[in-house]
C-alpha cells in the first residue's frame, strides 16, 4: 500500500449531515518519525458528538474540527510500524485516529486492546458508550436499589447500557425510545420494566402508568417533549444526569425547558457531564463495568457499515433513528 485514503470535513453542517460536508482525498502513505507509530485502522466509531465537533462552536468542551482537516473519530486498529518503545507491530490499539485508513500517532491517548476481544464489543461496550453509562449512572445519578430510573435514547448505545446496569442493581427501569421495534427490544431482550415510544400519543398517561411511585433518576440523552413531563414526575431529592440532547443538536430553536419550580419543590440535582473530563478515570470506570459484562448482564447490538466512505452517510442515521445499536464503520 502506497497511499492513504482520508475523509476531510470541508463544510459546516446546516441541519443535515450528509456527504456534501466531506471530501475524499488520496494522500501518500505517511512515514513515521522517531517516537511515532503507524496504525492501520480496522473499525471507526460514529458518535452523535461528531455533530457538535463539525459545528463552528468554539465554546464547547472540545474545539471544532478545522475545515479541510481529517474528520475526528475514535477507532480500533493494528500497529503496522513502530518507532515507539511502548508499542510493537501487531499490537491492537484504540485511539482518536480520524476518518482515514492509516493514522500516525505519538502514542498519546492510545490504549492497547486485548486482541481476543471482539472489536464490535469493544466499541459498543468498553469504549465511549460503556464509560459514559458508568460515569453518568454511578458518579452523577448515584442509584439505589428500589428507586425508579427513566432513560431516554434507551435503545441507543449509552441508554441501553444505563438501563441494564440499573436493572442489575435492583432499580425499576423505564426506557424511552422511538418506535415499536426498539421498545420491544429494551423490554423483551434487555429486561427493562417498561418502554415508552416518544413518538406515540398521550405520553403523560403512559408515564404515570409506568412510574406509579414517581421517578428518582432521569438519565437524559435526547431532550424533546417528554423531558418536561418526566421532570414533572420526579420525586423529592431526584437526580437528573444530563448526558445528551440529540433532539436539539440540529433544532433551529430548543424547546422550552422543564418547569424550574420543580427543582426547588423537589430539591432536584441536575448535572450535565461530558466524558473528556473523565477519560483519565477510564481504568476505574472499566473496573466498575467489567463485572456486569462478565456476569452476562450487558447485551448490546452493533450497527456495522462497510467501508470508510460509508461514514459520510452514517452520521445522519442518528437523526432518523435508523441506527439499531452502536454505529461502527468497518474498513
Ligand atoms: N456527555 C457525554 O460525554 C456523552 C458521551 C456519549 C454520548 N452522549 C450523548 O448521549 C446520547 C446518546 O448517544 P449514543 O451514542 O448512545 O447514540 P444512540 O442513542 O445510539 O443513537 C442516537 C439515537 O438518538 C435518537 N434520536 C434521534 N433524534 C431524536 C429526537 N429528535 N428525539 C429523541 N430521540 C432521538 C435515535 O433513537 P430513536 O430511534 O429512539 O429515536 C437515535 O438512534 C447523545 O445525545 C449523545 O450526544 C454524551
Closest CA to 67 of 25, 27, 21: 21
- Give me ligand 1 centre to Cα 172, in Å: 22
Predicted confidence (pLDDT) per residue in 8-18, tens digit: 999 999 888 99
- Asked which of 51-65, 69-83, 175-189, 266-280 is least confident by mean pLDDT, the reply is 51-65
* Statement: residue 307 has pLDDT above 70: yes
Predicted confidence (pLDDT) per residue in 198-238, tens digit: 999 999 999 999 999 999 999 999 999 999 999 999 999 99
| Cβ atoms of residues 38 and 77 within 8 Å | no
Across 76-85, average pLDDT? 98
Closest CA to 75 of 106, 104, 100: 100
- Give me ligand 1 centre to Cα 28, in Å: 36
Per-residue model confidence (pLDDT) at position 156: 98
Say yes or no: CB of residue 275 within 6 Å of ligand 1: yes
Point out the ligand 1 atom lying closest to the alpha carbon of residue 136: 1
Predicted confidence (pLDDT) per residue in 228-274, tens digit: 999 999 999 999 999 999 999 888 788 888 999 999 999 999 999 99
Per-residue model confidence (pLDDT) at position 300: 98
- Give me ligand 1 centre to Cα 133, in Å: 12
Per-residue model confidence (pLDDT) at position 313: 96
pLDDT band at 148 (very low <50, low <70, confident <90, very high): very high
Q: Which residue has the cell 398517561?
A: 205
Q: Where is pLDDT greater, at 46 or 57?
A: 46
Per-residue model confidence (pLDDT) at position 298: 98
Tell me how far apart the terminal alpha carbons of the chain are, to the nearest angstrom. Answer: 15
Say yes or no: CB of residue 129 within 6 Å of ligand 1: yes
d(CA 196, CA 178): 8
pLDDT band at 285 (very low <50, low <70, confident <90, very high): very high
Mean of all residue pLDDT scores within the chain: 96
Per-residue model confidence (pLDDT) at position 1: 67
Amino acid at each position: 500500500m502506497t497511499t492513504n485514503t482520508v475523509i476531510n470535513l470541508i463544510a459546516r453542517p446546516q441541519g443535515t449531515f450528509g456527504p456534501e460536508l466531506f471530501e475524499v482525498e488520496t494522500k501518500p502513505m505517511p512515514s513515521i518519525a522517531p517516537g511515532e507509530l503507524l496504525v492501520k485502522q480496522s473499525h471507526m466509531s460514529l458518535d452523535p458528538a461528531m455533530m457538535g465537533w463539525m459545528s463552528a462552536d468554539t465554546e464547547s468542551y472540545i474545539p471544532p474540527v478545522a475545515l479541510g482537516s481529517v474528520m475526528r473519530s475514535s477507532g480500533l486498529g493494528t500497529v503496522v510500524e513502530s518507532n515507539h518503545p511502548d508499542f510493537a507491530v501487531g499490537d491492537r490499539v484504540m485511539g482518536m485516529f480520524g476518518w482515514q485508513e492509516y493514522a500516525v500517532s505519538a502514542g498519546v491517548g492510545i490504549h492497547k486492546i486485548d486482541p481476543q476481544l471482539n472489536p464490535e464489543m469493544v466499541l459498543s461496550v468498553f469504549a465511549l458508550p460503556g464509560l459514559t453509562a458508568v460515569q453518568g449512572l454511578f458518579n452523577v445519578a448515584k442509584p439505589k436499589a428500589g428507586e425508579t430510573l427513566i432513560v431516554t435514547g434507551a435503545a441507543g448505545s449509552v441508554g441501553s447500557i444505563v438501563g441494564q446496569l440499573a436493572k442489575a442493581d435492583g432499580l425499576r427501569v423505564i426506557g424511552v425510545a422511538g418506535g415499536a421495534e426498539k421498545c420491544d427490544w429494551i423490554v423483551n431482550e434487555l429486561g427493562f420494566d417498561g418502554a415508552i415510544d416518544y413518538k406515540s400519543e398521550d405520553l403523560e398517561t403512559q408515564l404515570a402508568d409506568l412510574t406509579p411511585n414517581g421517578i428518582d433518576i432521569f438519565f437524559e440523552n435526547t431532550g424533546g417533549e417528554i423531558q418536561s413531563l418526566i421532570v414533572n414526575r420526579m420525586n423529592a431529592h431526584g437526580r437528573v444526569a444530563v448526558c445528551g440532547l440529540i433532539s436539539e443538536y440540529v433544532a433551529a430553536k430548543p424547546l422550552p425547558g422543564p418547569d424550574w419550580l420543580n427543582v426547588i419543590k423537589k430539591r432536584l440535582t441536575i448535572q450535565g457531564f461530558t466524558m473528556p473530563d473523565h477519560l483519565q478515570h477510564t481504568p476505574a470506570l472499566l473496573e466498575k463495568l467489567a463485572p456486569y459484562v462478565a456476569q452476562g448482564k450487558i447485551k448490546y447490538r452493533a450497527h456495522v457499515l462497510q467501508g470508510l466512505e460509508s461514514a459520510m452517510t452514517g452520521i445522519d442515521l442518528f437523526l432518523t433513528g435508523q441506527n439499531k445499536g452502536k454505529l461502527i464503520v468497518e474498513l
